[in-house]
Amino acid sequence: MSDIKLPEGAPEEVITQALVRMVDLAAFGHKGSLALITLDNGMDHNRPNTFGPQSVGLLNNAITEAENSDAVAIAITGKPFIFAAGADLSALAFLQDRSQALAIGKLGHDAFRRLAESKKPTFAFINGLALGGGLEVGLHCHYRTLSSTAMVGLPEVFLGLLPGWGGATLLPRMIGPENAVQVIIQNPLNNNTMLKAKDAKSLGVVDEVFIPSDFLENSVKFVASILNGSRKIERVDHTKDDAAWAKALATGKAAVAKKYGGADITSPKLALELIAASRTNTHSQGFDAEDIALADLVMSDPLRASLYAFNLIQKKRKKVEGAPKPALARKVTKVGVVGAGLMASQLALILLRNLKCPVVITDLDQARVDKGIGYIHSELDKLVEKGRMTPETAVRLKAILTGSTDKKVFADANFVIEAIFEELELKQVLFKELETIVGEECVLATNTSSLSVTKMSEGLKHPERVIGFHFFNPVAVMPLLEIARTPATDDATTATAVAVGKELKKTMVIVKDSPAFVVNRLLTRFMGEITDAIDEGTPPEIADAAMKPLGLPMTSLELLGLVGPGVALHVSQTLHNNLGERYRISPTMQAFVAEGIRTFYIKDDAGKVIANPAALAQLKQGNKTSTSDEVRIRALTALASEAAMMLDEGVVATAAEIDLCMLLGCGWPMHLGGILPYLDREGFSESVNSKRFHPAGIASLP
């Protein structure tokens, strides 16, 4: 049943074997044997089990073997700590015919549904990560157990897909429409949130949760208890409550609208339609509908774009383009953080948690130092309260965190990062002072968002150990780290910075030291077009709606409120001074900063979001108005122009790195596949630059 021929050039499938062994149930309280199917791709834990056509065929064969045996029940589990991460997505972008996509959907349904339709009781022992098709295998089983440390979820909508191997049909009737909308729609759209074991149990996704040390033994005991009748699992009929289904679908639609700003995004819309239909569909009808919806998505541009973005993120998470040999990295045994404000404290916290070495922070006075230390302590306490850190670990980390007003405490540090006020002269003075204190091989890093790292290192005896280390706010959440090399930065410094970034679990891009690097340069360029349109006379609500059809996580003026007009104006001024008139200084932004206006939107007494009257009063507008479409076109034209200049300047080596930065640094939507593929598809690349950023397309990238 796995004779699906993939197109030439598609990556070779990593085969997941399905191995059957018999487990005697006598010792567990029941006569007979359990046929236990174990999924194992023979790789280490960095490569989870996945299902390509051949792997699905092998699972189908294993089910046949178990059915034909004298086993009284069938169970399926995974290799140590991994159940299955779902479909092998690597080949989808290569499919050339809709019939191929339909065949892959039907292949999974035909194999997995045998677990639901078996006359023998079937069990899923979900011993580790179970995502997408991996979780769907379990949903087809009659009963499910879960390891207490495992994470499960249906992330397909996040990728521009939908649960297409039974999830959209089975889950709503299994756990109710509201819970199903949470798992299928809301969680993926909320930064791809996974379900922890306790949540999976409370929602009804699984029947029992056991600790890892005796998970398999307790799961087999659970099988015996079901078979001998000592344990009964009651199933609820969720199809009767009209109000629950209506509420669930409304909740799902609201979540999609909030995430994508009203943009018409196909995958969550189709997923909601399948959830609604699951109430009355038979399994066969639901599975056929899933096949059709999945095939439509797989052959669409948004899905190809999303797969490009997903594969790009996965690859660059493991390999940093242009990074020196890891062996050149120096060992970091003590870290210094200059500054104790919010950003500096966030940096100190993430360094402390991940490097687990002494961290010392400094500031101008003891009160500021104490405030920074207090913030870090409180964040560690919150992690303990949430069960994400043991009390013993928190005590140990607090003990190696110190603060001072004297920078001499950095004398034995190997890595010092500054997060002081964004003023070049202050940073230059600071680095010259630090150079008299630290050892010659200590890395001096700056978290600047827009200033020249090269100029910070001017006049130093050892400019080769200065590097940009630009995080995004909030530091613990945002995955991107821009590492900015100056012409003087040496390989040992860069390798050390990359090694620290890996310990921090960040996805890194090495950039040339240039104004605002990648993300802030592009963000400032297109936001500048929005504010320019407002300054010219376009009503703010018209200009701010310009980018909504793209489904960005927030509008330009909402982003302004998050960043703050002061920071936005500072970056604009830096880029204006370095790159010229295309980065214009907005008189409206200057007025906002002068008057202390921090946000364009506020909530009224009823909780409704409205334009801030104080902000409206400061608008400096002309009499030229534009439509939202005209503003969007000028903003996207500006992005195409700026990105081409950045590549010509060598800010990064490849177009893919710009895509990665915008995906991870500003939340460019996955369904658009990165900023440059979108500009290619919409014609802006060729109209502005006479060529595409990805001339060969994105099917085989990265």
Mean pLDDT of 550-560: 88
What pLDDT was estimated at residue 302? 81
> In this prediction, what percent of the chain has a pLDDT beyond 90?
83
Q: Evaluate if residue 411 carries a pLDDT over 90.
A: yes
What pLDDT was estimated at residue 600? 94
Q: How far apart are CA 201 and CA 552, in angstroms?
A: 33
Angle between helix 655-665 and 519-536 (nearest 10): 70
Query: Coil, strand or helix: which one is 39?
Result: strand
Q: How far is CA 686 from CA 641, 660, 678, 691, in A?
A: 10, 21, 12, 4
What pLDDT was estimated at residue 702? 45
Q: Evaluate if residue 591 carries a pLDDT over 60.
A: yes
Catalytic option among 8, 12, 65, 156: 156
Query: Pairing state of beta strands 609-611 and 601-603?
Result: antiparallel
Q: How many CB atoms lie within 10 A of CB 340?
A: 29
Q: How many CB atoms lie within 10 A of CB 277?
A: 16
- One-letter amino acid of 9: G
pLDDT confidence band for 1 (50 / 70 / 90): low
DSSP string, 55-81: HHHHHHHHHHHHHHSS-SEEEEEESTT
What pLDDT was estimated at residue 698? 65
Three-state secondary structure of 426-468: HHHHHHHHHHCCCCCCCEEEECCCCCCHHHHCCCCCCHHHEEE
Q: What is the DSSP letter of 601?
A: E
What pLDDT was estimated at residue 2? 54
Mean pLDDT of 229-241: 93
Q: How far apart are CA 490 and CA 104, in angstroms?
A: 50
Q: Evaluate if residue 656 carries a pLDDT over 70.
A: yes
Q: What is the pLDDT of residues 423-474, one digit of tens each?
A: 999 999 999 999 999 999 999 999 999 999 999 999 999 999 999 999 998 8
Mean pLDDT of 354-379: 97
Angle at CA of residue 224, ends 220 and 225, nearest 5° = 115
What pLDDT was estimated at residue 387? 84
What pLDDT was estimated at residue 104? 92
Alpha helices in 537-564 (DSSP H): 540-544, 556-563
Burial of 381 (0-12, 13-18, 19+ CB in 10 A): middle
Weakest-pLDDT range from 192-196, 260-264, 299-303, 593-597: 260-264
pLDDT confidence band for 359 (50 / 70 / 90): very high
What pLDDT was estimated at residue 8? 66
Q: Give me the sign of the Cα torsion angle 382, 384, 386, 389.
A: positive
Query: Pairing state of beta strands 195-196 and 151-153?
Result: antiparallel
- One-letter amino acid of 179: N
Structural domains in the chain plus CATH codes: 17-299 (3.90.226.10), 326-511 (3.40.50.720), 519-650 (1.10.1040.50)
Mean pLDDT of 582-602: 94
Is 503 marked active-site?
no
Mean pLDDT of 608-633: 94
- One-letter amino acid of 81: F
Mean pLDDT of 350-377: 97
Q: Evaluate if residue 579 carries a pLDDT over 60.
A: yes
Query: Quick one: which of 261, 141, 119 has its CA closest to 547?
Result: 261
Start-to-end CA span in the chain (Å): 31
Indicate the helix (H) or strand (E) that contains 403.
strand 401-404
Helix, strand, coil percentages, rounded to 5, for the chain:
50, 15, 35
More confident residue, 172 or 159: 172
Mean pLDDT of 31-50: 90
pLDDT confidence band for 263 (50 / 70 / 90): confident
Give me the numbers of helices (H) and strands (E) for the chain, helices first please: 28, 20
Q: How far apart are CA 483 and CA 593, in angstroms?
A: 30
Q: How far apart are CA 690 and CA 489, in angstroms?
A: 35
**Cβ atoms of 585 and 533 closer than 8 Å:** no
Mean pLDDT of the chain: 93
Give me the residue label for tokens 């965190």: 401
Mean pLDDT of 372-397: 95
What pLDDT was estimated at residue 147? 97
Angle at CA of residue 422, ends 418 and 425, nearest 5° = 90
Query: Coil, strand or helix: which one is 538?
Result: coil
417 phi and psi angles, rounded to 5 deg: -120, 135
pLDDT confidence band for 148 (50 / 70 / 90): very high
Omega before 702 within 30 of 0, i.e. cis: yes
pLDDT confidence band for 537 (50 / 70 / 90): very high
Query: Quick one: which of 456, 390, 391 has its CA closest to 420?
Result: 456
- One-letter amino acid of 663: L
89 phi and psi angles, rounded to 5 deg: -85, -10
Q: What is the pLDDT of residues 273-302, one digit of tens each?
A: 999 999 999 999 999 999 999 999 988 888
What pLDDT was estimated at residue 607? 87
As given in the structure block, the two tokens for residue 323 are 């990074």
Indicate the helix (H) or strand (E) that contains 485.
strand 480-485
Is 136 marked active-site?
yes
Catalytic option among 136, 290, 422, 464: 136
Q: How many CB atoms lie within 10 A of CB 112?
A: 25
Q: What is the pLDDT of residues 63-99, one digit of tens each?
A: 999 999 999 999 999 999 899 999 988 778 778 889 9
